[in-house]
Amino acid sequence: SYVLTQPPSVSVAPGQTARITCGGNNIGSKSVHWYQQRPGQAPVLVVYDDSDRPSGIPERFSGSNSDNTATLTISRVEAGDEADYYCQVWDSSSGAVFGGGTKLTVL
């Protein structure tokens, strides 16, 4: 089965840039999607197809994907960005696969 690996936690000061990675075998050949989940709330799509943003998502959220690593970048981090972030791909054998999630802490 296909496995996505995320760091358990990332910490960043307000105004700085946060980068959350998602590792997978040849993930660059797949479309990667990212979700934000604030405590007690449902997940929200923040980046899809590697680097596209749904309407209403700030430009501060961006994504990239190459080789074995996809990255979600959050620029000018705000306190409201504190949440869990999950990457996801579709694998023909496993179905939809999620990474284990990364807790973003704003210091």
Closest CA to 30 of 95, 75, 100: 95
Question: Could you tell me what percentage of the chain is helix, strand and coil, using 3-state DSSP and rounding each to the nearest 5?
Answer: 5, 50, 45
Which range in 11-19, 21-29, 31-39, 67-75 contacts other proteins by CB under 8 A? 31-39
95 binds other proteins (CB under 8 A): yes
Closest CA to 74 of 89, 97, 58: 58
- Minimum CB separation of residue 36 from other proteins in Å reads 11
* Of 36, 54, 70, 83, the one binding other proteins by CB under 8 A: 54
Size of interface with other proteins, in residues (CB under 8 A): 25
* Of 3, 17, 49, 66, the one binding other proteins by CB under 8 A: 49
CA 20 – CA 18 distance, rounded (Å): 7
